[in-house]
């Protein structure tokens, strides 16, 4: 017959006690919740959340590649109602000085008169004229883009990403939100931005990512 020695008994008792009082972080981690878009009713008027919205542009360089820059300051409002698309509208302003191409010297060159001429034209503005839906969550937003003091018609392909009440975010970010992605291709020559014509592509791809906070009731 085997006799359990005291040290062994003591060790076993300590191990059981330690397991009984193990901290919460020692427990197996719960599986993370999946990410999913919200699909509540997006209808309403919204104020753009500048902290979760932005503009990207991509332009061809030297005939061999592309580079992408951003504008970091965007503001404005929009109204979206899938049941009444004739009432949909957007008024968006981008601060030209918020340009960032991740190279200071290039930013200085692009903000100068041959390109954006930000001192004379500090704002880039898009004001919609009509929205044509393509199904429930996508459509074409037509409007006028003013860049360097020149206004030209532009059509954005718009896609609704999600909408719903996001109660866990504090103000000014939380509340009833909706989000969209809009893309277009413009010709910089149309806006008098003709500098370095042989070294930079004339066509510029634009991507606007918008998150808005519902206003009113």
Report yes or no: 56 and 88 within 8 Å, Cβ to Cβ.
no
| pLDDT tens digits, one per residue of 7-37 | 554 455 555 555 555 555 566 778 999 999 9
Full set of structural domains in the chain with CATH: 45-214 (2.40.128.110)
Buried-exposed string 178-201: b where 16+ CB fall within 10 A, e elsewhere: bbbebebebebeebebeeeeeebb
For residue 1, the model assigns a pLDDT of: 46
CA–CA gap between residue 159 and residue 54 (Å, rounded): 15
For residue 9, the model assigns a pLDDT of: 47
pTM, two decimals, is 0.85
For residue 2, the model assigns a pLDDT of: 47
Question: Closest by alpha carbon to 123, among 99, 93, 98, 100?
Answer: 93
What is the distance in angstroms between the CA of the first residue and the CA of the last residue of the chain? 81
E-strand ranges in 108-149 read 123-133, 138-147
For residue 29, the model assigns a pLDDT of: 75
Consecutive 10-residue runs of the chain (217 residues): their mean pLDDT?
48 52 63 94 97 98 97 98 94 98 97 96 98 95 98 98 96 95 98 96 98 89
Whose tokens are 């972080």? That residue is 25
């Amino acid at each position: 017959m085997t006799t359990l020695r005291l040290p062994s008994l003591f060790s076993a008792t300590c191990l059981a006690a330690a397991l009984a009082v193990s901290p919460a972080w020692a427990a197996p981690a719960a599986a993370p919740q999946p990410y999913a878009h919200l699909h509540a009713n997006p209808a309403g008027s919204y104020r753009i959340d500048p902290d979760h919205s932005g503009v990207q542009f991509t332009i061809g360089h030297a005939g061999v590649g592309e580079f992408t820059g951003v504008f970091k300051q965007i503001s404005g409002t929009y109204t979206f109602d899938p049941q009444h698309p004739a009432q949909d509208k957007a008024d968006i302003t981008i601060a030209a000085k918020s340009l960032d191409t991740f190279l200071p010297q290039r930013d200085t060159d692009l903000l100068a008169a041959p390109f954006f001429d930000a001192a004379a034209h500090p704002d880039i503005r898009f004001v919609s004229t009509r929205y044509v839906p393509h199904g429930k969550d996508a459509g074409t937003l037509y409007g006028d883009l003013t860049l360097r003091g020149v206004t030209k018609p532009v059509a954005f392909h718009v896609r609704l990403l999600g909408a719903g009440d996001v109660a866990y975010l504090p103000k000014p970010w939380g509340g009833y939100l909706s989000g969209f992605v809009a893309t277009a291709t413009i010709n910089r020559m149309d806006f008098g931005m003709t500098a370095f014509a042989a070294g930079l592509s004339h066509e510029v791809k634009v991507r606007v990512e918008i998150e808005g906070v519902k206003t009113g009731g």
